[in-house]
Amino acid sequence: MKFMNRNKWTITGAFLRALLVVIFIIFFMNIILIFSSVLNTTKISLYAPSDFTRKFSKYIEYKDNTPYVTEEGKMQLKNKSAWIQILGEDFKEKYSLNKPEGVSEIYNPLTIVHAYKYDIKNYTIFIGESKHNDKTYSYIIGFPIKFVAKYTMEYSPFMVRKILSGGILILLLIDICIAIIVAYIFFGKKMGKPLENIIKGIKEMSHGNYQKHYKEQGIYKNVFVSLNKLNKTLNENNIKRKELDKMRDNWISSISHDVKTPLSSIKGYAEIMKEPDYSFSNEEIKEYSDIIWNKASYIQELIEELNLTYKLKNNLFSLNKTKVNMVNMLQNIIIEILNDPIYSNRNINLHYEKENVMCFIDEVLFKRAVINLIFNSIIHNDESVKVDVSIYEKNNTVYILIKDTGKGISKEDLPYIFERYYRGTNTSFSNKGSGLGMAIAKQIIDIHGGYISVKSELGVGANIKINFKGA
């Protein structure tokens, strides 16, 4: 619990630090932007009223000591929507252009200062001077207040220092308190708590606990959905792995017994045959040799099946595909089985709609898969079992059905019928064989790009269906 709380506050602290940094940056950037925006408006080339006014004297000329504005100057004023008033040294109007109604023609120093500080008739004014014959003329240029505005700011340096030292500090403290509250409520509870649950869930999964289920809600809803799916998948895989381990252990025990029994026979008969004090007849030598041969062949068969399933599982087997008539192949398989004296009395039938059903397959491997499937129906049932093998083609897909009337497979065993090491539990047949026959059959079908499925009920029999692409 301490670990989780530490994680929670670590995440919240990281968010809080980031939030404070953002607050400071935004605060100072806003101050800089506000001042720079105000200052930059005076540099806009369209109006630049101070520079325009100061340089406008070049457009003022004189005739008979009377000032006037040149045509070019008039155009400049028109472009700025501005007006001009030229005053003499006595502050009386000597010339004006586009002057609004109500503007005074006589000024004094006080009214000049007042007008410059504020505005005249909703026009912001700027003042310049022009000299002629040792006389100084003043001129007022007015700009529409909607384009150019000028405001006077009065402040106390003492109060500014006080505000800067106290007010801004208080403002920053308020912002920090807000950030802490937001970090705790929003991040600590809304974000930190779910993150704590996610971290806890991952930790439990790392310890092999896959039973936890999380409410799929909040801003991390998708994460919890994925976490629940992962828990479910890992739990299923864990159960399957335990079942597979159990089957493998049972299989190893059975295989050890199956190998040990023929080895004991081989060793026993070999010891008898090497006995120097006993003279064997030809019949005895042949009998013992046949037993040793059969037991050795059985062990070899087990080893070959182990080697084959390993190669198939790890894609180490190269297919030698040829165009094969599947009907002929199935006929030959059934004939071979029935020619074996052990299975000569079995009821195996082949059904087909047409004599030629062509496929590109590795005939040796595919033949082995079908034999394994048919033998599964034979050896796990009594001699009265009927096995029907059917083949047909539809939409360039070949279907092979193997149906028997045997004991069937229980619901508990059915999901594992194609698992390696599986031998089944509902048969009285002795567990002779490697337990890899059905698994090898499925692996062979899979590497041919086919699909195999099985349906069965106890006391009814089993139906195996294979489908794959035709030639």
pLDDT tens, position by position, 302-337? 777 777 777 777 777 778 889 999 999 999 999 998
Q: Is the pLDDT of residue 257 over 70?
A: no
The confidence score (pLDDT) of residue 209 equals 77
329 found inside a domain: yes
* Type of residue at 197: N
Task: For residues 445 and 357, state if they share a domain.
Answer: yes
Rounded CA gap, 211 and 418, in Å? 28
Across 15-19, 274-278, 357-361, 433-437, the highest mean pLDDT is recorded for: 357-361
Tens of pLDDT along 150-161? 777 776 777 667
Statement to judge: residues 10 and 34 lie in one domain: yes
- pLDDT at site 270: 80
CATH of the domain at 441: 3.30.565.10
Q: Look at residue 4 in the predicted model and tell me its pLDDT.
A: 44
336 domain residue, yes or no: yes
Residue pair 440/311 in contact by the 8 Å Cβ criterion? no
Is residue 289 in some structural domain?
A: yes
Residue 217 lies in a domain: no
Residues 284 and 398 in one domain: no
| 376 compared with 36, residue with greater pLDDT | 376
Instruction: List, in sequence order, every residue forming a beta bridge with 69; answer none if it has no partner.
Output: 60
Question: What angle is formed at CA 296 by the lines to CA 294 and CA 301, rounded to 5 degrees?
Answer: 95
* Whole-number Å distance between alpha carbons of 436 and 427: 17
What is the rounded distance in angstroms from the CA atom of residue 68 to the CA atom of residue 65? 10
Query: Does residue 324 sit within a domain?
Result: yes
- Whether the per-residue pLDDT at 190 is higher than 70: the answer is no
Torsion of the alpha carbons at 365, 368, 370 and 374, rounded to the nearest 10: -170
- Among 254-263, 276-285, 370-379, 457-466, the minimum mean pLDDT is found in 254-263
Domain coverage including residue 96: 49-144
With contact defined as beta carbons under 8 Å apart, do 295 and 262 qualify?
Answer: yes
137 shares a domain with 161:
no
Average the pLDDT over 40-59 and give the result: 72
Average pLDDT over residues 389-393: 93
Quick one: tokens of 109?
């120093």
Pair (335, 371) in one structural domain: yes
What whole-number distance in Å separates Cα of residue 198 and Cα of residue 212? 11
CATH of the domain at 116: 3.30.450
Same-domain status, 251 and 399: no
The reply to whether 271 and 364 lie within a common domain is no
Compute the mean pLDDT over every residue in the chain, rounded to the nearest whole number.
79
Residues contacting 421, CB < 8 A, separation 6+: 244, 247, 248, 250, 251, 435, 436, 439
To the nearest whole percent, how much of the chain has pLDDT over 90? Answer: 20
The string of pLDDT tens digits covering residues 129-156 is: 998 888 889 999 999 988 888 777 776 7
- Pick from 224-233, 251-260, 377-386, 397-406 the range whose average pLDDT is largest: 397-406
* H or E element that contains 361: strand 358-361
Q: What angle do CA 398, 400, 401 make, to 5 degrees?
A: 145
Inform me whether the pLDDT recorded for 174 exceeds 90: no
Residue type, 256: S
Give the other-Cβ count within 10 Å of 456's Cβ. Answer: 19
Gap between the Cα atoms of 88 and 244, Å rounded:
111
Q: What is the pLDDT of residues 429-440, one digit of tens each?
A: 444 455 677 888
Q: How far apart are CA 103 and CA 107, in angstroms?
A: 10
* CA–CA distances in Å: residue 462 to residues 30, 378, 403: 80, 11, 6
Q: How many domains does the chain have?
A: 4
Same domain flag for 278 and 184:
no
Q: Is 196:8 a contact under the CB 8 Å cutoff?
A: yes
Query: Which stretches within 398-456 are classed as H helix?
Result: 437-447
Q: How many CB atoms lie within 10 A of CB 293?
A: 11
Domain-located, residue 7: yes
Same domain? 258 vs 376: no
Q: What pLDDT, on the 0 to 100 scale, is given for residue 334? A: 92
Q: What is the DSSP code string of 281-335?
A: PHHHHHHHHHHHHHHHHHHHHHHHHHHHHHHHHTT------EEEEHHHHHHHHHH
Find the mean pLDDT for residues 365-393.
Answer: 90
Residue that finishes a domain, picked among 144, 162, 192: 144
Mean of pLDDT values over 7-18: 58
In a domain, 422, yes or no: yes
Query: Which has the higher per-residue pLDDT, 203 or 378?
Result: 378
The DSSP H or E segment spanning 349 is strand 347-352
pLDDT(289) > 90: no
What's the CA angle centered on 360, arms 355 and 361, to 5 degrees?
100
HSE value, Cβ hemisphere, 13 Å, CA-based, for 246: 8
Q: Last residue of a domain, which of 124, 144, 164?
A: 144
CATH number at residue 294: 1.10.287.130
Q: Rounded CA gap, 447 and 439, in Å?
A: 12
Q: Does the pLDDT at position 345 exceed 80?
A: yes
Is pLDDT above 60 for 39? Answer: no
pLDDT band at 38 (very low <50, low <70, confident <90, very high): low
pLDDT confidence of 399, banded at 50, 70, 90?
very high
Q: Are residues 36 and 178 in the same domain?
A: yes
pLDDT, tens digit, 9 for 90 and up, residues 67-105? 999 999 999 999 888 999 999 888 899 999 999 988 888
Place of tokens 């930059």: 40
Tallying the residues shown for the chain, one arrives at 471
Closest alpha carbon to 424 in 402, 456, 450:
456
Same domain flag for 339 and 361: yes
Which pTM was predicted? 0.46
| Strand pairing report for 347-352 and 386-394 | parallel
Q: How much is the pLDDT for 208?
A: 75
d(C-alpha 316, C-alpha 447), whole Å:
11
Of 75, 137, 87, 136, the residue nearest 115 (C-alpha): 87
Kindly state whether residue 462 falls inside one of the protein's structural domains.
yes
Question: What is the spatial distance between Cα 50 and Cα 117, in angstroms, rounded to a whole number?
Answer: 14
Q: Are residues 289 and 399 in the same domain?
A: no
Instruction: Return the pLDDT at 280.
Output: 74
- Domain end call among 312, 337, 359: 312
At residue 427, does pLDDT exceed 50? no
